[in-house]
Structure 1
Amino acid sequence: MSNVSDRAVTVTSAVLREWPLPPPGTGKESRGRTVVVGGSTRTPGAVLLAAESALRCGAGKLQVATTTTTAAPMGIALPEALVLPLPETAEGGIDPACGAEGGELSELVEGAHAALLGVGAIGEEDVRSLLSQLVPRLRTVVVLDALGLAPVTADVTFLHHLEGGAVLTPNLSELAIVLDAEPEEVERDVAGATVELARRSRCAVAAGGGESWIAAPDGRCWRDASGGAGLGVSGSGDVLSGIVTGLCARGADPVQAAVWAAHLHGRAGDRLASSVGRLGFLARELPAQVPPVLAEIEV
């Protein structure tokens, strides 16, 4: 990995105004169909955070697929969404058999404009099996988060068939795991590691630590310094992945969605830092800050 930070574009509102999102249209169908697949009996909240974040950035139609045990509470907590209950493992994760061709989950995801896979999921082998059945048939935009990255860790060509139509949203620990690198090496050169994963996977990559780095498969790189230490909190990454997916559903190019999402996420954190405190705000408070940040940028 080489240090590419010197040639990275610093993301600002002015930069994004020169790279506007697709027009939103007038109805929910015009802003795309977002599907979020994940969760477990142990981590149901991750799906809720990601799904709400997709709506908060302007996605139009929301569908969620999660474990049977958590589906009904999810539907109550998120009345805007269609919720598909899925059979679960003894450990409380999604049964990997749900990835079979022709099943309800397959039909749901294949009909989406953008699908977030793996958020809040548990059981690495089960998640890898589920996605290894489901993803090769897809032609929609795919966003992989958390354990959803497991198939890419096993085979970095896993998403090559999508020809750039995918985004990976690892935290720094996950970035090191996917690259089979030492965490210290990645932390010394997050920009280089992000660009390297984008090159190998042929996906857009948004990786976050104290600052965010976003890379395109062709080597382009962006740095976003917004947000600060307060974003280093449980659930923050789920919010980011949801924003990425919602923007993709709206029609944004995956690279554009990753760059915009990193800035919206960071600026939402900045707003909470000023009103709540630099530390101590919660991930659940971030989604509601996204619409005003969008409005400020798009003025």
Structure 2
Amino acid sequence: MPSRSAEKVITPQVLRDWPLPDPQGDKMARGTVLVIGGSRFTPGAALLAGVAALRAGAGRLQLAVTESTAAALSIAVPEAKVVGLPETERGSVAGDVPDHLLELAGDADVLAIGSGLDDIEETRTLLHRVLDAAGKDTPVVLDAYALGALSKEPDLLAGRSQPVVLTPNVTEAQHLLGREPKDDLADEAFELATRYQATVSLYGHIATPDGRAWREESADAGLGTSGSGDVRSGILAGLLGRGAEPAQAACWAAFAHAVSGQRLAPRFGRTGFLARELVDEVAYTIATV
């Protein structure tokens, strides 16, 4: 088993020395991001993740959400292709997703799964179907209930070739670990990375299965607001769409997420800004690194 290296602090200079792929060509060259989420009662989570992906530089956005919310989201995000998915009586995305979603998953350059999903068992079924349909090299970002589904079936990713990034908060990390996280979140991020053979972004700590590690130190309390995690996973997916490799995308996303909050603090206070306002700062934050 590899050992964890000392964490490298993510600074603007570290990122400048690790530049994102140069955005050349048309929108197709910057990737198609497919966000799968959005139950009847939480469609905004998929909206936040999707728009954040565009702000991070993705070329095209597709949103797959419950049928009852698809029309409203297509108006709210006119830049996106929005498809409706069957839903349960409780308003959750049904796991037995239709073939048209599997076709989109097979053609997408990045999959972001979890924002706004709200049923563990339906999500487990959905993950199996979608990951089976996705390209073998298609990066996948798992967040929210997708992480809950993974915690119920730890071998779900075993044998799959897709590069995966997990973006748990501390509660989701507890489910993935099967115990309370210890104080050293760097070690916990590395344990998750090795256990699930994925890049992990946990509360500013980024770890890879081969032992590389980074730490983002710009975050403040204001990021602990509803929808903030959806924004972070969307930024990450957008950077993957641009061609960043998973660890690079995770580091840049953590920095862009945190510094976007810093930019809002003078106007709204440390804890008064909203996740939707974070989204509007993302492109400028990335551009000015």
Common fold: TM-score over 0.5: yes
Fraction of identical pairs, as percent: 46
Structure 1 counterpart of 2:187, from 164, 167, 192: 192
Indicate the residue corresponding to 1:59 in structure 2. Answer: 58
Name the SS of the counterpart of 2:281 in structure 1: helix
The whole-number CA distance in structure 2 between the counterparts of 1:158 and 1:256 is 24
The whole-number CA distance in structure 2 between the counterparts of 1:255 and 1:157 is 22
Q: How does 1:40-59 map to 2 (within 5 A)?
A: 40-59=39-58
The whole-number CA distance in structure 2 between the counterparts of 1:22 and 1:156 is 33
**1:137 CA drift (Å):** 3.7
Structure 1 counterpart of 2:155, from 141, 154, 157: 157
Structure 2 counterpart of 1:201, from 181, 196, 205: 196
Indicate the residue corresponding to 1:76 in structure 2. Answer: 75
Name the SS of the counterpart of 1:97 in structure 2: coil
Indicate the residue corresponding to 2:145 in structure 1. Answer: 147
The whole-number CA distance in structure 2 between the counterparts of 1:19 and 1:157 is 32
The question of whether the paired residues in 2 share the 8 Å contact of 1:164 and 1:254 is answered with no
For residue 188 of structure 2, what is the amino acid of its counterpart?
Answer: A
The whole-number CA distance in structure 2 between the counterparts of 1:187 and 1:73 is 42
The whole-number CA distance in structure 2 between the counterparts of 1:97 and 1:142 is 19
**1:85 CA drift (Å):** 0.8
For residue 60 of structure 2, what is the amino acid of its counterpart?
Answer: K
The question of whether the paired residues in 2 share the 8 Å contact of 1:39 and 1:119 is answered with yes
Q: How does 1:1-299 map to 2 (within 5 A)?
A: 7-98=6-97, 103-138=99-134, 139=136, 140-163=138-161, 165-182=163-180, 186-208=181-203, 212-297=204-289
Name the SS of the counterpart of 1:219 in structure 2: coil
The whole-number CA distance in structure 1 between the counterparts of 2:8 and 2:149 is 30
* Distance verdict in 2 for CA 1:162–1:255, change over 3 Å: farther
For residue 181 of structure 1, what is the amino acid of its counterpart?
Answer: R
**1:164 CA drift (Å):** 6.2
For residue 170 of structure 2, what is the amino acid of its counterpart?
Answer: L
For residue 251 of structure 2, what is the amino acid of its counterpart?
Answer: V
**1:26 CA drift (Å):** 2.9
Q: Which moved more, 1:66-75 or 1:121-130?
A: 121-130
**Across the two proteins, how many residue pairs are aligned to each other?**
285
Structure 2 residue runs without a partner (length 5+): none
The whole-number CA distance in structure 2 between the counterparts of 1:150 and 1:279 is 27
Name the SS of the counterpart of 1:265 in structure 2: helix
For residue 194 of structure 1, what is the amino acid of its counterpart?
Answer: A
Name the SS of the counterpart of 1:227 in structure 2: coil
The question of whether the paired residues in 2 share the 8 Å contact of 1:163 and 1:202 is answered with no
Name the SS of the counterpart of 1:196 in structure 2: helix
The question of whether the paired residues in 1 share the 8 Å contact of 2:148 and 2:175 is answered with no
Moved over 3 A (4+): 160-164
Structure 1 residue runs without a partner (length 5+): none
Name the SS of the counterpart of 2:63 in structure 1: strand
Q: Deviations over 1:38-69 (max 9, x none)?
A: 01111111001000000001101111100000
Name the SS of the counterpart of 1:288 in structure 2: helix
Task: Indicate the RMSD between aligned Cα atoms, in angstroms.
Answer: 1.5
**1:273 CA drift (Å):** 1.2
For residue 238 of structure 1, what is the amino acid of its counterpart?
Answer: D
TM-score (ref. length: structure 1): 0.92
* Distance verdict in 2 for CA 1:74–1:187, change over 3 Å: farther
